Structure 1
Amino acid sequence: MSAPGPILALRTAILAALAGDAALADLFGGTIRLHDEPPRGAAPVYALFGRVIARDASSEGVRAHAQEADIVVWSRPGSAAAGLAVADRIATLLDDADLALAGNRLIRLRVAESGATRDPGSGAARAWLRLSALTESIG
């Protein structure tokens, strides 16, 4: 079995890094709720892996990728504070974190941007983080 690509390796490491944080679980309502797709029938607060871009950043025989990855936190209409609290905790846990990636080495992980908006249709609040990562393939 081959090592995962840089995007999947980073996502897996993020999930592992967040999994043991009791404060984050409490903000989600008791369990970490970070998903690839919106959970069917689930009420907010939950988070989704959003848009991700991995660009080649190789040099001198080292295969590397610069990634931009979004995490979007959905909260109930009229409750932007709940989503912002989750996003803030995720940012605290991930900014400059030293994560172990399968088949890759994390060189740098930063929270490059964050913000909040409201869905015009449902009124649900969304907070988001844009992560900036540099990874190198190993092995």
Structure 2
Amino acid sequence: MSTSPVLALRKAIRAYLLADAGFAAELGEKIFDEAPRGAEPPYAVFGESQMRDWSADLSRGAEQIFVLGLVSTLRGLSEALERAQRIVDLLDEAPLVLQDNRLIDLRFLSLETRREQSGRFARVNMRFRAVTEYL
């Protein structure tokens, strides 16, 4: 049984970000599928994802649109935006190695900011597009 392209991509992203010394120094290992109750920001969290068939004549593939969020407790958005930019710089066209899948392309698409819990948290959502091929 092959690994889901969504799970394979998430695992590869997590490993790639944690391998960067600057990222690891800022967030430690705080990259979650869902933030645990009481998790102290800053942290990154995987958000919504969509996957659709992207197969060609000779190979099976998938296109994914996914969100990676960065949550911060500082009042302004500057800390969250700086950390989000580091993630974008690391992941845009990154050469990730996926389990049971091959990454064809990974691109940054867009970024949005918002406030959560009556302004207590700043959140930056980064949207990416990935195309993968099943091995």
TM-score (norm 2): 0.93
Deviation at 1:51, TM superposition (A): 0.3
AA paired with 1:48? Answer: V
Residue 23 of structure 1: aligned partner: 22
2:45 corresponds to 1:41: no
Q: Secondary structure at the match of 2:67?
A: strand
- Identity among equivalent positions (%) equals 39
Tell me if structure 2 keeps the 8 A contact 1:3–1:103.
yes
2:55 corresponds to 1:55: no
Deviation at 1:45, TM superposition (A): 0.6
Q: CA RMSD in A?
A: 1.4
2:73 corresponds to 1:76: yes
Taking the aligned partners of 1:22 and 1:136, their CA distance within structure 2 comes to: 29
Question: Aligned pair in 2 of structure 1 residues 79, 26: CA closer, same or farther (>3 Å)?
Answer: farther
Q: Structure 1: which 5+ runs fail to align?
A: none
Summarize the alignment of residues 1-139 of structure 1 with structure 2, pairs less than 5 Å apart: 2-28=1-27, 31-119=28-116, 121-138=118-135
Taking the aligned partners of 1:77 and 1:23, their CA distance within structure 2 comes to: 19
AA paired with 1:92? Answer: D
Deviation at 1:120, TM superposition (A): 5.6
User: Which deviations, in whole Å up to 9, do the C-alpha atoms of 1:63-88 show, x marking residues without a partner?
Assistant: 11110010011111514222112211
Taking the aligned partners of 2:55 and 2:69, their CA distance within structure 1 comes to: 29
Taking the aligned partners of 1:7 and 1:17, their CA distance within structure 2 comes to: 15
AA paired with 1:3? Answer: S
Q: Secondary structure at the match of 1:42?
A: coil
TM-score (norm 1): 0.90
Q: Which runs of 4+ in 1 moved over 3 A?
A: none
Taking the aligned partners of 1:12 and 1:128, their CA distance within structure 2 comes to: 19
User: Which deviations, in whole Å up to 9, do the C-alpha atoms of 1:53-111 show, x marking residues without a partner?
Assistant: 01111110311111001001111151422211221111111000111111101000011
Q: Secondary structure at the match of 2:86?
A: helix
Instruction: Point out the more displaced range, 78-87 or 48-57.
Output: 78-87
Tell me if structure 1 keeps the 8 A contact 2:76–2:122.
yes
Taking the aligned partners of 2:99 and 2:120, their CA distance within structure 1 comes to: 39
